[in-house]
Amino acid sequence: MKKLQFAHRAPKSSGGAERNRIAFQGGSYSIIITAIVLAILVVLNILAAALPTTLTQYDISSTKLYSITSNTKVVVNALEEDVTIYWIVQSGEEDKVIENLLDKYDSLSDHIKVVKKNPDVYPTFAEQYTDETVQNNSLVVECGDRSRYIGYDDIYLYETDVYSYSYNTSFDGEGAITSAIDYVVNEEQPQIYVLEGHGEAELPTTFSEQMEKENIELNTFSLLNVDNIPEDAACVLIYAPTSDISQEEKEMLADYVSGGGKLLVMAGPTEEGTLENLYSIVGDYGVTACDGIVIEGDREHYAFQAPFVLMPDMASSDITDSLIEENYFPIMPLSQGMRVENSSSSATVTEFLTTSDAAFSKVTGYDLSTYEKEDGDIDGPFTLAVSIETSSEGRIVWFSSSSFLDDMYNAYSSGANVNLGMNAVSSLIGESEAMAIRSKSLNYNYLTISDSTSSLLKVMMIGVFPLVYLGVGIVVVLRRRRMQNEAV
């Protein structure tokens, strides 16, 4: 019996050794496979690091903050000269969003080179480009003897939100850089001639800075000392005159438009009344001005409990479409009412800002003592802005408010007023690729979902998915045990 027991135990000992050998081989195989996989991953990481960021990063931000628009690609791909972007920043203080943007410019074209300039190492470098106090992450774009300085506060823009007493922050890095590139490689830029000699107001700061950013050069001139509008004028701008032009000046401007010229006018009521000669320019195309100041009778069409601060209806046009799409609402304070009475065979007149039917015009103008309608006041509705295209390719864009571009009213409209004005400029002179780039909001956008969707997501995340993962794990464990038993 002892021999039989000994003979019976021997196979068990042999079976245990076999199992140990199989386990050892399996462990060695796992280690080898793991090492190979890790080696492959290391190689893939090295290769991925060598690829440009355009191929390894995907922008899922709502405003495409980390992407470059097709407009920039058009400008950069057309480069024939070398452009250097100097990044003025101390070591360790690099802004990640700006760094990502500069990497994209660097990879877009062999004509663009990004060079870091540490102010600790080169303390006087920026002095040759600007007199301003230079902050970290400011830029200088240079091509030959032309350059443009881009301050950090030109990249991150802060606008006051008068409703919440807070600031709206936007990122304008791409717009500023692409505009600077377009400026340094092109010596000829659009010329706008601003009329003077009639008590015109100075262009508001925000509007003039936006014009400068978009590489539009402003020149003042008087019709009293020229025989003709300058030939290089892309557009003539008349802003907030307080006195009327002469009949001779009116004829010069009318001839300019009929000859294919472009005219942009912001002219509202004055203390002296209607500017008759000036408004007779659009009068030739069937647009007439009403006396007084427009008062809105519909509460939904004025702002801040001030019936003279109008919130007009916008009709679709190349000037208003971008505002309509993004739900911006311009405001038009102290406006002159206009009416389009007779269609002209020589031009197409488009009304793109209008009041409600409840509006009326106070004929007493600046002497008004009440917002209530009185005898003699003129019934609405009124037109507040028109676009006129002549058969000779001339064009007029006319706003009947002198004040809507003021920085205060622009802040009230969250920037919509200046956007409206710049859209008008772009439509007249022809929008370049660099002009089409607008800043990107950095304010948070929250996802709003219904209660039923919220409940469904909770059930899926807390209940269904964990149970599915648990079930998969149990199946895998049972399968492995069965395979081990079969091997034995």
Of 153, 171, 187, the last residue of a domain is 187
Rounded CA-CA distance 431/434 in Å is 8
Average pLDDT of the residues in 79-87: 91
Q: Are residues 398 and 480 in the same domain?
A: no
Average pLDDT of the residues in 396-421: 91
By the 8 A CB rule, do 95 and 66 touch?
A: no
When computed from its CA atoms, the radius of gyration of the chain, rounded to whole angstroms, is 34
Average pLDDT of the residues in 89-109: 89
Comparing 381 with 73, which gets the higher pLDDT? 381
Name the phi and psi angles at 358, rounded to 5: -85, -5
337-383: pLDDT as tens digits: 999 987 666 789 999 999 999 999 999 888 888 888 888 889 989 99
SS3 at position 332? strand
Give the per-residue pLDDT at 446: 45
Number of domains composing the chain: 4
Rounded CA-CA distance 155/482 in Å is 64
Q: Are residues 402 and 484 in the same domain?
A: no
Is the pLDDT at 6 greater than 70? The verdict is no
Of 319, 381, 394, which Cα lies nearest the Cα of 350? Answer: 319
Comparing 58 with 283, which gets the higher pLDDT? 283
Q: Are residues 157 and 245 in the same domain?
A: no
Q: Are residues 370 and 244 in the same domain?
A: yes
Q: Is 55 inside any structural domain?
A: no
The helix or strand, by DSSP H or E, that contains position 398, with its residue range, turns out to be strand 395-399
SS3 at position 303? strand
Comparing 453 with 237, which gets the higher pLDDT? 237
Q: Which amino acid is at 25?
A: Q
Q: Are residues 104 and 178 in the same domain?
A: yes
Give the per-residue pLDDT at 337: 93
Q: Tokens standing for 70?
A: 């097709």
Domain that holds residue 81: 61-187
Of 156, 187, 218, the last residue of a domain is 187
Query: What beta strand segments (E) does 217-376 contain?
Result: 217-221, 233-239, 262-266, 287-289, 293-295, 302-303, 306-310, 313-314, 332-333, 338-340, 347-354, 360-362
Q: Are residues 324 and 201 in the same domain?
A: yes
Q: Are residues 214 and 329 in the same domain?
A: yes
Q: Which amino acid is at 184?
A: V
Rounded CA-CA distance 169/155 in Å is 10
Q: Are residues 309 and 417 in the same domain?
A: yes
Comparing 9 with 327, which gets the higher pLDDT? 327
SS3 at position 41? helix
Q: Tokens standing for 38?
A: 């890790």
Please give the mean pLDDT across all residues of the chain.
83
Q: Report CA dihedral (396, 399, 402, 405) to the nearest 10 degrees.
A: -100
Of 217, 210, 155, which Cα lies nearest the Cα of 183? Answer: 217
pTM of the model: 0.71
DSSP state of 461: I
Q: Which residues of 370-391 are buried (b: 16+ CB within 10 A; e: fewer)?
A: eeebeeebbebbbbbbbbbebe
By the 8 A CB rule, do 360 and 314 touch?
A: no
Average pLDDT of the residues in 302-326: 89
The helix or strand, by DSSP H or E, that contains position 397, with its residue range, turns out to be strand 395-399
Of 136, 154, 187, the last residue of a domain is 187
Number of Cβ atoms within 10 Å of the Cβ of 427 = 17
* Domain at 365, CATH number: 3.40.50
